[in-house]
Structure 1
Amino acid sequence: MALNGILLVDKQGGWTSHDVVAKARRLTGQRKIGHTGTLDPMATGLLVLCLGSATRLVEYMVSHDKHYEGLIALGATTATDDAEGEILASRPVPVLSDERLRELERGFMGELQQRPPAYSAVKVAGQRAYAVARRGGVPGLAERRVAVHDLRLEPAGPGLLSVRVHCGPGTYVRSLARDIGEAIGCGAHLAALRRTASGSFRVESAVTLQELETLAQAGLVEEVILAPDEGLAGSGAAIVTVERGQRLRHGVTLPPVARESWPAAAARVYDAGGSFLGVTRVDESGRIWPLKMLPD
Structure 2
Amino acid sequence: MREEGYARAMVFGLLNINKPAGRSSRWVVNAVSRITGVDKIGHAGTLDPLATGVLLMALGPATRLVEYLQAGTKLYQASIHLGVNTSTYDAEGDVLATAPVPDLALGDLQHALARFVGEIEQQPPAFSALKIAGVAAYRKARRGQTVELPMRRVHIEQIELLSWQSPVLTIRVACSPGTYIRSLAFDLGQALGCGAHLASLVRQASGHFRLEDSVDLETLAAAAQVGDWQRYLLPPDQAVLELTPVYLDAGRTQVLLHGNPVTAPARPATSAGRAYDPDGRLIALVTYDAAQEVWQPDKVFVAD
Q: For the superposition of Structure 1 and Structure 2, which TM-score range results when normalised by the shorter chain? A: over 0.9
Query: In the TM superposition, what is the alpha-carbon distance from 1:249 to its structure 2 partner?
Result: 2.3
Q: CA deviation at 1:235?
A: 2.9
Residue 190 of structure 1, aligned match among 198, 206, 227: 198
| Post-superposition CA distance 1:160-196 (Å, at most 9, x none) | 1101111111011111111111111111110000011
| SS class of match (1:95) | coil
> What is the one-letter code of the residue matched to 2:150?
A
Q: 1:52 maps to what in 2?
A: 60
Instruction: Report the Cα offset of residue 255 of structure 1.
Output: 4.4
The 5 A counterparts of 1:140-219 are 140-219=148-227
In 2, Cα distance between equivalents of 1:215 and 1:288: 40
Q: Which has the higher contact order (CA 8 A, sep 6+)?
A: 2
CA 1:272–1:186 in 2, change beyond 3 Å: closer, same or farther?
same
Q: How many residues align?
A: 294
The amino acid that maps onto 1:168 is S
* 2:48 counterpart residue number: 40
What 5-or-longer segments of structure 2 have no aligned partner? Answer: 1-8
**Greater than 3 Å deviation, 4+ residue runs:** 254-257, 283-287
Contact 2:244-2:270 at 8 Å conserved across structures: no
Of residues 284, 287, 290, the one that matches 1:281 is 287
Percent identity among equivalent residues? Answer: 43
> Is the 2:106–2:164 Cα contact (8 Å) retained in structure 1?
no
The alignment status of 1:77 with 2:85, answered yes or no, reads yes
Q: Which moves more between the two structures, 76-85 or 1-10?
A: 1-10
Is residue 122 of structure 2 the alignment partner of residue 127 of structure 1? no
SS in 2 for 1:40: coil
Q: 1:112 aligns with which of 101, 105, 120?
A: 120
**1: CA distance between counterparts of 2:87 and 2:58?**
32
Contact 1:15 1:41 in 2 (8 A): yes
What secondary structure sits across from 1:156 in the alignment? strand
Call closer, same or farther: CA 1:156–1:98 in 2, change over 3 Å: closer
TM-score (norm 1): 0.94
Report the equivalent of 1:295: 302
Q: Which has the larger displacement, 21-30 or 241-250? A: 241-250
Q: 1:94 deviation in Å?
A: 1.0
CA contact (8 A) 1:6 1:225 kept: yes
One-letter amino acid of the structure 1 residue matched with residue 11 of structure 2: L
Change (3 A) 1:156 1:282: same
Amino acid at match of 2:165: G
1:262 is aligned, of 247, 264, 269, to 269
Partner in structure 1 of residue 240 of structure 2: 232
SS in 1 for 2:256: helix
Q: Separation in 2 of the partners of 1:37 and 1:250? A: 32
RMSD (CA atoms): 1.6
Instruction: Name stretches of at least 5 consecutive residues in structure 1 with no aligned partner.
Output: none
- Residue 19 of structure 2 is aligned with which of 5, 11, 31? 11
Matched, 1:252 2:252: no
1:158: how far off? Answer: 2.0
Distance apart, 1:212 and its partner CA: 1.0
2:5 is aligned to: none
1:243 CA drift (Å): 2.0
SS in 1 for 2:165: coil
Secondary structure of the corresponding residue to residue 67 of structure 1? strand
Query: How far is the alpha carbon of 1:256 from its aligned partner?
Result: 4.2
Letter in 1 for 2:294: R
